[in-house]
Structure 1
Amino acid sequence: MIHTQKIRELHLPHATSESRLPFISAASGLVQVNNLLYVVADDEHHLGVFAAGHVGPGELVRLFEGTLPDKYKKRKVQKPDLETLLLLPTFAGFPHGALLAMGSGSKANRDAGVLLGLDTLGNVNLAPRLFDLSLLYDALRGEVDGLNIEGAAIADGKLLLLQPGNKGAVNALIACELEPFIADLAANIAPRLRVPPVVRAVALGDIDGVPLCFTDAATLPDGNLLFTAVAENTKNSFDDGACNGSAIGIVDANGNLKAIERLDQPYKVEGVAATMHADEINVLLVTDADDVSKAAWLLSAVLNKNE
């Protein structure tokens, strides 16, 4: 098993609404840029920003206008369900790269994307730019059942999207052409596919009979993806279920599984960032508490890439 260590809870300087508590609870994606940790949550209109190596409250960057309902069921229906946070390379209009938060596409109101430009230090320095991802997602809905994009990465000139399996389905790695996708973002138009995506099924096994399903990924220097997966006892992409545990694995850009190992604690891990140091992969993870009264955790783990 992979040993995990708690680093900190994801506390904020203030709550995002009067009845919420001052922390991120449902962390769903993680990107590290220099010493900044960006955390997206699937039930918020904000992005969390935390300083690596510090345990003080983070900051909030607003992504959408307005407020979400405080009642759980109403909030679940109306939330943008941002499950993916992706670091984009330098492109026209964004000389230092950008962050892209993406809705899951599991419902029609979850087809939004938000683009945030970065400065030389990795700080957000441009107002959020909203994108309609429905053209992209409608094309993907013709390729996979129950679309629910949980993560994304860039490798081998492709935008790789992670589709979890849940019960009765299979995980998939969806490869889309990266260059036209970024060109659409640069032109401030809704991204769309010019050629059909390549969809590859990826079997990840299970924990106590509950299938492991993709939740996020980070690209390693060799082009492979370090991914996280959760065994959540649910039959669909909308309802939550009991978490039997999580795993970390490595898959190549063609969907070939290289390794997978379970975590030592039954966290529901939804976001991952990774850096290489010699033969070690230093991994940061964020969790979804599945309980608005509890804060999400930032965890760490160390993997040996030769094992």
Structure 2
Amino acid sequence: MTKPILILFLLLITACTKNTMKLEILEERSSNVLPSGSGIIKYKGNYLAIGDDAPFLFMLDEDFTIIKRIPLLENIPTDTRFSKAEKPDFETLELIADDEVVVFGSGSKSPQRDLFLRIVLGDSVRIERYELTAFYQELKRMPMMHDAELNIEATAYHNKQLFLFNRDKNIIFQFGYDAFLQYVQGDAGFPTPLSYSFQLPSIKGLEAGFSGATFLKGASKIVFTAAVEDTDNAYDDGEILGSFIGLIDFSNHEISPSYDFCRVPQNKSQLKIESVTIDEEHSGGTTSLILIADDDRGSSTFLKGNLTW
């Protein structure tokens, strides 16, 4: 029998008032080869990235030049780029262990976007593919998702816990990773989630929505990004109004009921930041990080920066 769903609801009314956080952009590079960047992680001195309409895991060098493409789907030509109606919408990418990576489809359109990939890298590559339609239906039935659209935009992993970030209502779902794997492999019932809902800052009266996340291990903090688009649903794109980056404390093994944030600086145009990864952790409230942005026109932008708080 499936265990009762445990829901921990934390509605955050305001962010921290110190406003001491600052993001300094050190380098910005655009790519027309990697389309619609949606996820990035650091991997053994290089980077791995995905695009929401591309069927590949891209390996990039330190200059963000593509050095390898790993097919994520079977029998797909190397020049494939999916249409909006057909794309798997791979929106999340996170490193679980030294050679284990996970990718989630957003779930915003079923069944096309209901895919979960567990990728084991090394001398050879093993990809396990699982349909998440039933899992996503369980999430949709949770009381916190009432009147909300499912749109999983980010994944984070820490201390055997998996965190999924839903864009609508800015909900974080927390699962035991092993319990989640047992569920998708058919060996256990739906895992018991903790759920948290956040109120994020706004631009022009439109609230930002979660777009990326990872853990800052040395400081036990979640680094998140959130973007603002002028759209009223989880499926359609809209005018890009800007993005934020923030920190949520996790020092007591629970998600804090407050957060710090700052605006992501813009260059020539507003950036829709889609993902964040830690490049190098420093002491004293500073970390070097990498961001990836999607311009909604088929290109991606990579940014190197320093976050201080």
TM range (shorter): 0.7 to 0.9
- Letter of the 1:107 partner, please give it: K
- Letter of the 1:104 partner, please give it: S
Please, what TM-score do these two structures have when normalized by structure 2?
Answer: 0.81
The equivalent position to 2:48 in structure 1, one of 33, 38, 47, is 38
Q: The residue matched to 1:76 in structure 2 has which SS?
A: coil
Please state how far the C-alpha of 1:180 moved relative to its aligned partner: 1.2
Is 1:251 aligned to 2:248, yes or no? yes
Distance 2:87 2:73 in 1: 11
Is 1:225 aligned to 2:231, yes or no? no
Please state how far the C-alpha of 1:256 moved relative to its aligned partner: 2.5
Distance 1:193 1:282 in 2: 39
1:159 to 1:57, Cα distance in 2 relative to 1, 3 A: closer
Q: Equivalences for 1:142-291 in 2 at 5 Å?
A: 142-143=141-142, 144=145, 145-165=148-168, 170-183=169-182, 189=185, 194-221=190-217, 222-252=219-249, 253-254=254-255, 256-265=257-266, 266-274=270-278, 275-279=280-284, 280-291=286-297
Q: The residue matched to 2:83 in structure 1 has which SS?
A: helix
Is 1:112 aligned to 2:115, yes or no? yes
Aligned to 1:92: none
- Letter of the 1:64 partner, please give it: L
8 A Cα contact 2:106 2:151, kept in partner = yes
- Letter of the 2:101 partner, please give it: L
- Structure 1 segments (4+ residues) deviating >4 Å: 190-193
CA RMSD of aligned residues (A): 2.4
Is 1:5 aligned to 2:9, yes or no? no
Distance 1:255 1:41 in 2: 31
1:79-118: CA deviations, max 9, x gaps? 10000112112xxxxxx43111110011111111122112
Distance 1:55 1:116 in 2: 21
Aligned to 1:26: 36
8 A Cα contact 1:24 1:296, kept in partner = yes
- Letter of the 2:158 partner, please give it: A
Please state how far the C-alpha of 1:55 moved relative to its aligned partner: 4.9
Please, what TM-score do these two structures have when normalized by structure 1?
Answer: 0.81
Point out where structure 1 has 5 or more consecutive residues left out of the alignment. Answer: 12-22, 90-95
1:193 to 1:303, Cα distance in 2 relative to 1, 3 A: farther
Q: Equivalences for 1:84-163 in 2 at 5 Å?
A: 84-89=92-97, 96-108=98-110, 109-119=112-122, 125-143=124-142, 144=145, 145-163=148-166
1:125 to 1:223, Cα distance in 2 relative to 1, 3 A: farther
8 A Cα contact 1:284 1:301, kept in partner = yes
Number of residue pairs aligned between Structure 1 and Structure 2: 272
Point out where structure 2 has 5 or more consecutive residues left out of the alignment. Answer: 1-21
1:17-69: CA deviations, max 9, x gaps? xxxxxx112101111112121111100111111012x354432111012459x
Aligned to 1:64: 73
8 A Cα contact 1:139 1:193, kept in partner = no
- Letter of the 1:276 partner, please give it: E
How many percent identity over aligned positions?
25
8 A Cα contact 1:135 1:192, kept in partner = no
8 A Cα contact 2:24 2:307, kept in partner = no
- Letter of the 1:290 partner, please give it: D
Aligned to 1:17: none
8 A Cα contact 2:47 2:61, kept in partner = yes
8 A Cα contact 1:6 1:297, kept in partner = no
The equivalent position to 1:81 in structure 2, one of 79, 82, 89, is 89
